[in-house]
């Protein structure tokens, strides 16, 4: 049979489904199932293979579409700079509130996900995005700055839950050797939401050189975020998921609030080396404020910012595809792939941000804040250079995020532990974003903010290197994965042989 690498690489359901075997429906295996029988039946419509509803690829697809509609629209709005407003002050204050609560809730969100279950956690998380965007529609009408700040704080709570559940699904559901591909496909679908979201203000402001977006932009985002929040209820719980080989996600059978709070501490005790990734976590959203507010908002008018947003998120799709698939190359041992990924990240950090330094030397905050400052339009001379720089910034973000998720997924396959890892990641990431939004709101020089981004990215890579060299193994034995669970090997081990296609993928 053909492998996914031999087929079209377009982001279609068929391509995602190729990560899961069509020849072994779980319902036909005679294994006791916790979901309804129809959840474990796959289907084929002509050349299109639709995996079983309770299979990892189908569930990943659902999560990706939820994030396409919720965080994807948030990213599209954030990418305009200042929440689509002419002045970034209100958006900065809202984002400080957002990432402050996000950092606290996110760090402990693994406890909530493990106790309440993935489905409920993700469902609750989608609500905040609708309210957040509604607050900017309200602000467009009445200039009430308190509503966006409240909505930002609420979204921080909701987003902490959503992203923890998403990270746990993306890292624990796939087979060990396919994690890079699953991360890539999620990141591509998710960022396609931001691409479409950026096309909304681009189309509505095509003939405008104003500084802020109109009401229709916010209303379009609200409709999509509401649909995404509702779709989250269509997920199955992690305990009902079954892989093509008959194996299950390693979880706690009877989690309690006490067991999961203690499990959070136990994760730090048994996997102390993960703290070496914390600086990478901190850096992963640190640069957003600089890129969105101090580059896109500061230098470009609204329609050009919208175009830049489309190109930025398209570049994320390209970056996720390249890095996700490269991280799963079977011909190279996983430990060597991890070291190679680190080296490539370091090189592109120096190259892309070196180009950013040359661009940042051309302007200051005082110059772009002047009342008579004319922002750049895509029809103006000199636009091509910064356009490509902004595209490389998007590519770099996807490369960084894909690698960080893959590094965490390479440390364990235990769903309970990975939920905690995802919580640590999003909590620390959000703390960095809150700090940076506050720095920007206080009017720090653009060059200072740029230097903090570049220095933190390069320094965090150096700190993470010992973990990548020492702790990333070629495989993690199942015996190690179940140590952090009350399940047995017999309850989670594979019970079906892989077919030829899946064996090649894995």
Whole-number Å distance between alpha carbons of 325 and 15? 13
Contact 86, 58 (CB under 8 A): no
Work out the percent of the chain whose per-residue pLDDT is above 70.
86
Quote the pTM value: 0.83
Q: Is 246 left (phi over 0), alpha (psi -120 to 50) or beta?
A: left
- In three-state secondary structure terms, 29 is coil
Contact 63, 166 (CB under 8 A): yes
Residue 398's pLDDT band (cuts 50, 70, 90): very high
Q: What is the pLDDT of residues 45-57, one digit of tens each?
A: 888 888 899 899 9
Lowest mean pLDDT among 37-46, 70-79, 459-468, 470-479: 70-79
Q: What is the pLDDT of residues 60-107, one digit of tens each?
A: 999 999 998 898 888 777 766 555 554 567 777 888 888 889 888 888
Structure tokens at 144: 């009430």
* pLDDT higher than threshold 60 for residue 347: yes
Q: What is the pLDDT of residues 168-207, one digit of tens each?
A: 889 989 988 899 999 999 999 988 877 887 787 777 667 6
Instruction: Give the DSSP H/E element, type plus range, for residue 89.
Output: helix 89-116
Whole-number Å distance between alpha carbons of 502 and 1? 9
Give the mean model confidence (pLDDT) for residues 348-363.
96
* pLDDT higher than threshold 90 for residue 459: yes
Q: What is the pLDDT of residues 150-176, one digit of tens each?
A: 999 999 999 999 988 898 889 989 988
Whole-number Å distance between alpha carbons of 244 and 226? 33
Give CB contacts under 8 A, 24+ apart, made by 88-93. 88/293, 88/297, 88/440, 88/441, 89/441, 90/139, 90/145, 90/148, 91/136, 91/148, 92/289, 92/293, 92/437, 92/438, 92/440, 92/441, 93/145, 93/148, 93/149, 93/152, 93/441
Q: Output the pLDDT for position 505.
A: 39
Give the mean model confidence (pLDDT) for residues 417-436.
90
DSSP summary character for residue 256: -
Mean of all residue pLDDT scores within the chain: 83
* pLDDT higher than threshold 90 for residue 465: yes
Within 10 A of 364 (CB to CB), how many other CB atoms are there? Answer: 13
- In three-state secondary structure terms, 36 is coil
Instruction: Please classify residue 458 by burial: count the beta carbons closer than 10 Å to its beta carbon, then call 0-12 exposed, 13-18 middle and 19+ buried.
Output: middle
Q: What are phi and psi of 213, to 5 degrees?
A: -90, 165
Contacts of residue 261, defined as CB under 8 A and 6 or more positions apart, other chains included, come to 111
Q: Output the pLDDT for position 394.
A: 96
Q: What is the pLDDT of residues 208-239, one digit of tens each?
A: 655 556 677 788 888 888 998 899 899 988 88
């Amino acid at each position: 049979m053909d492998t996914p690498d031999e087929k079209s690489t377009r982001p279609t359901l068929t391509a995602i489904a190729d990560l899961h075997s069509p020849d072994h429906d779980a319902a036909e295996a005679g294994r006791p199932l916790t979901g309804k029988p129809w959840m474990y039946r796959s289907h084929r419509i002509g050349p299109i293979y639709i995996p079983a509803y309770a299979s990892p690829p189908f569930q990943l697809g659902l999560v990706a579409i939820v994030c396409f509609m919720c965080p994807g629209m948030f990213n599209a709005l954030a990418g305009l700079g200042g929440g689509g407003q002419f002045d970034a002050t209100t958006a900065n204050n809202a984002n400080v509130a957002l990432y402050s609560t996000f950092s606290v809730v996110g760090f402990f969100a693994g406890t909530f996900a493990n106790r309440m279950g993935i489905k409920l956690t993700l469902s609750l998380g989608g609500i905040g995005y609708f309210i957040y965007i509604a607050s900017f529609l309200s602000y467009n009408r009445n200039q009430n700055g308190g509503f966006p700040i409240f909505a930002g704080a609420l979204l921080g709570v909701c987003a902490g839950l959503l992203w923890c559940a998403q990270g746990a699904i993306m890292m624990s559901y796939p087979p060990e050797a396919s994690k890079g591909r699953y991360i890539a496909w999620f990141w591509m679908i998710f960022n396609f939401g931001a691409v479409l979201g950026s096309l909304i203000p681009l189309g509505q402001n095509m003939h405008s050189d104003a500084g802020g977006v109109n009401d229709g932009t916010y209303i379009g985002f609200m409709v999509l975020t509401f649909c995404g929040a509702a779709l989250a209820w269509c997920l199955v719980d992690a305990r009902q998921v079954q892989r093509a080989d008959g194996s299950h996600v390693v979880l706690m059978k009877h989690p309690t609030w006490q067991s999961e709070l203690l499990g959070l501490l136990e994760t730090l005790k048994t996997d102390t080396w993960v703290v070496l990734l914390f600086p990478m976590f901190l850096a992963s959203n640190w640069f957003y404020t600089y890129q969105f507010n101090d580059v896109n908002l500061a230098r470009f008018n609204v329609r050009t910012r919208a175009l830049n947003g489309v190109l930025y998120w398209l570049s994320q799709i390209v970056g996720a595809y390249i890095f996700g698939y490269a991280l799963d190359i079977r011909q190279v041992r996983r430990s060597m792939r991890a070291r190679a990924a680190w080296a490539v990240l370091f090189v592109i950090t120096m190259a892309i941000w070196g180009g950013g330094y040359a661009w940042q030397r051309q302007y200051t905050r005082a110059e772009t804040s002047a009342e008579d400052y004319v922002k750049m339009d895509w029809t103006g001379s000199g636009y091509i250079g910064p356009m490509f720089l902004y595209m490389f910034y998007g590519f770099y973000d996807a490369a960084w995020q894909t690698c960080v998720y893959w590094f965490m997924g390479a440390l364990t396959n235990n769903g309970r532990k990975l939920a905690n890892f995802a919580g640590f990641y999003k909590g620390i990431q959000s703390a960095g974003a809150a700090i940076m939004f506050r720095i920007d709101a206080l009017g720090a020089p653009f060059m200072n903010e740029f230097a903090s981004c570049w220095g933190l990215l390069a320094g965090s890579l150096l700190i993470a290197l010992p973990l990548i060299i020492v702790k990333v193994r070629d495989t993690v034995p199942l015996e190690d994965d179940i140590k952090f669970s009350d399940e047995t090997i017999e309850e989670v081990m594979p019970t079906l042989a892989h077919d030829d296609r899946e064996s090649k993928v894995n």
